């Protein structure tokens, strides 16, 4: 493996969010890279009027959600009351990124979950196309 030749010379700084996952950090350390971690940002959720937003989403007939973060998935679960979850939210199709989010979504209560392997726009668009969410003539401009 090419990278092993200069391991001792490699000095890596991993920039991540406050309390972020340690998967990349642990993987690099296990491969004996010299790594420093800097927590350089913090996610702060916007304060919204939950009742008004849910009412809007339901009136727009939202039936599919794309979630790329466990924090967003958990916040959504905390934000929406049980009645709206059962009458609407859990009936929505859910597209998540990775098996970890799939498991979280299933544990929360979703049944119709599609798992994407990547969070980039190109891959998510291909998942949407494969699931026939829109006709080929439409342009989603993602």
- pLDDT at residue 55, as a whole number: 94
Range(s) of the chain covered by CATH 3.40.50.10090? 50-130
- pLDDT at residue 122, as a whole number: 86
Neighbouring residues of 135: CB distance < 8 A, sequence distance ≥ 6: none
Strand, coil or helix: 79: helix
Burial zone of 89 (CB within 10 Å; 0-12 exposed, 13-18 middle, 19+ buried): buried
- pLDDT at residue 8, as a whole number: 55
- pLDDT at residue 57, as a whole number: 93
Q: Taking Cα atoms as reference points, which of 30, 71, 80 lies closest to residue 51?
A: 80
- pLDDT at residue 107, as a whole number: 96
Name the token pair of 11. Answer: 């000095």
What does residue 87 show for φ and ψ, rounded to 5 degrees?
-80, -25
Which pTM does this prediction carry?
Answer: 0.72
pLDDT tens for the chain, 142 residues long, are: 455 555 556 788 988 888 877 888 888 888 888 889 999 988 888 888 989 999 999 999 999 999 999 989 999 999 999 999 999 999 999 999 999 999 999 999 999 999 998 888 888 888 888 876 554 444 444 3
- pLDDT at residue 7, as a whole number: 55
50-130 CATH choice from 3.40.50.280, 3.40.50.10090, 3.40.1080.10, 1.10.10.60: 3.40.50.10090
How many angstroms separate the CA atoms of 129 and 135, rounded?
8
Q: Taking Cα atoms as reference points, which of 48, 111, 106, 102 lies closest to residue 80?
A: 48
**Which residue in the block uniquely carries the two structure tokens 């668009």?**
125
- pLDDT at residue 139, as a whole number: 42
């Amino acid at each position: 493996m090419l990278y092993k030749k200069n391991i001792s010379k490699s000095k890596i700084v991993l920039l991540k969010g406050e309390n972020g996952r340690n998967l990349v950090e642990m993987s690099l350390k296990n491969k004996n890279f010299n790594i420093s971690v800097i927590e350089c940002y913090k996610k702060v959720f916007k304060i919204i009027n939950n009742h008004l937003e849910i009412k809007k989403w339901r009136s727009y007939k939202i039936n599919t959600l794309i979630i790329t973060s466990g924090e967003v998935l958990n916040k959504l679960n905390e934000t929406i009351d049980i009645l709206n979850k059962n009458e609407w939210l859990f009936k929505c199709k859910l597209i998540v990124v990775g098996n970890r989010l799939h498991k979280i979504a299933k544990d929360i209560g979703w049944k119709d979950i599609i798992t994407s392997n990547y969070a980039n726009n190109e891959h998510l668009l291909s998942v949407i196309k494969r699931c026939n969410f829109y006709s080929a003539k439409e342009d989603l401009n993602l």
